[in-house]
Amino acid sequence: MATTSSKTSFVLSMPPTFSAMDVVEKGKAQGILLTKGYVHTIRSKARVATPKGSLATTDNRSRAPARQSNQSAQGSLQDRFVDLVLELGLVRAEAVFSNLRRTVSEAIG
């Protein structure tokens, strides 16, 4: 199995015109297991990390400043959660959730 950094490198090496599903399929052909969500997350982070006006951006249209709403705050929290799961690793994250479920079940009774 490929490491996270090589998965990230692979995703970023794909043309931005490829859909997430195309990237997942290309990765699978090379033995790299990806999800569409992972591809979207990596591409999103790459766009944020790219300096404004750089040719590497996929969308050159100007954007209105984002308003911080409850929904966007929740989305931000979900993005952070996905980042943490990816950093921790899916298998380890599932084990943590399993322990949490058991602890909550025991506490509830």
pLDDT tens track for 17-68:
889 999 999 999 999 999 999 998 888 887 776 555 544 444 444 445 555 5
Query: What letter does residue 61 receive in the DSSP assignment?
Result: S
pTM tops 0.85, yes or no: no
68-92 CB burial, b ≥16 within 10 A, e <16: eeeeeeeeeeeeeeeeebbeeeeee
